[in-house]
Amino acid sequence: MNLVLSLTNVNEAEWIDRLQALLPDRKIESWKSDVSDPQKVEYLFAWKPDPAVFAALPNLKVIFSLGAGVDHLTSLPQLPHLPLVRIVDADLTSRMTEWVVFQTLFHHRDHLIFAAQQEAGIWKDHKQPAAKEVRIGVLGLGELGLSSAKALKSLGFEVAGWSRTPKNVEGIQSFAGDDQLDAFLKRTDILINLLPSTPTTQKLVNAERLAMLPQSGALGGPVYINAGRGATQDEAAIDTALASGQLKGASLDVFAVEPLPQTSPLWKHKNCIITPHVAAPSDPQALSEYVVRQIKRFEKGEPLENLVDLEVGY
């Protein structure tokens, strides 16, 4: 009943130490070193893993994804048909909500304008709309999207959400399915993308859909914010929309290729905030405790929580 980690661009030693402290009677090992007894490994903790790990561990029973997204696993043809558990953690959700609210307020309160004025030594005020005049649309009403939507609603914004299936959340208008996506976009001044990466969401935010965002809203132009997955957006279309003024501004934490190449034109837009996939960093202690809790549930015959539906990809 041992556990192996296959983590790319992550400090595995920190995770191993924390997991080992919580599971002192188990062997916790890195895939990068020689696994002492592959036959005894039943659990895999993965982030962009080496695809060879699956065939080398013949008795795997459960796979845990480090992070809320699972596309780094579901996109692998070698992924075995085993229970796949995604991370749902209060700390991760809180961090994402903080980032989304911060970026929303950053654009809502015209901080880009005031930062430029400070640099130039200009003292000038600008008319700012009340939150109740600004229509926010959240793409994806899962755990992270719903938390962000509720937080923004509490600040007085008019909030709607779009998801694959209808949601019933007090105070938040629900749009669902392909038939209602256009209507959702046409009422949205600040578009927040927290969608997972699945075959149906690839480049969902494209030139045609960005053009649906209204130019006549309270902010004087639409804003696009993405902390979900880079594969869900067309970055060339975002570049064009920012350059033309079709988008008033953007905040981007995720990209199709990470790190974002220095050749990307997105770096050069003064109305675009770029952060390096840090909206919701994983806390080793909190997430290690989550994984251990799931292992103990599984071994007591209790159902695993937050299982991924491999058919839909999240």
**Which tokens belong to 83?**
């229970």
Q: Are 204 and 178 in contact (CB under 8 A)?
A: no
Of 276, 254, 296, 300, nearest to 85 by C-alpha is 296
pLDDT at 182 (0 to 100): 98
Length of the chain: 314
- Whether 277 is catalytic: yes
Active-site hit among 108, 135, 229, 269: 229
pLDDT tier for residue 56 given thresholds of 50, 70 and 90: very high
Q: One of 26, 72, 109, 277 is an active-site residue; which one? A: 277
Residues 118-142 pLDDT 10s: 999 999 999 999 999 999 999 999 9
pLDDT at 107 over 90: yes
Closest by CA position to 56, among listed 36, 39, 77: 39
pLDDT digits (tens, 9 = 90+) for 169-218: 999 999 999 999 999 999 999 999 999 999 999 999 999 999 999 999 99
pLDDT digits (tens, 9 = 90+) for 238-257: 999 999 999 999 999 999 99
Measured between alpha carbons, how far is 232 from 251 in angstroms, rounded to an integer?
A: 15
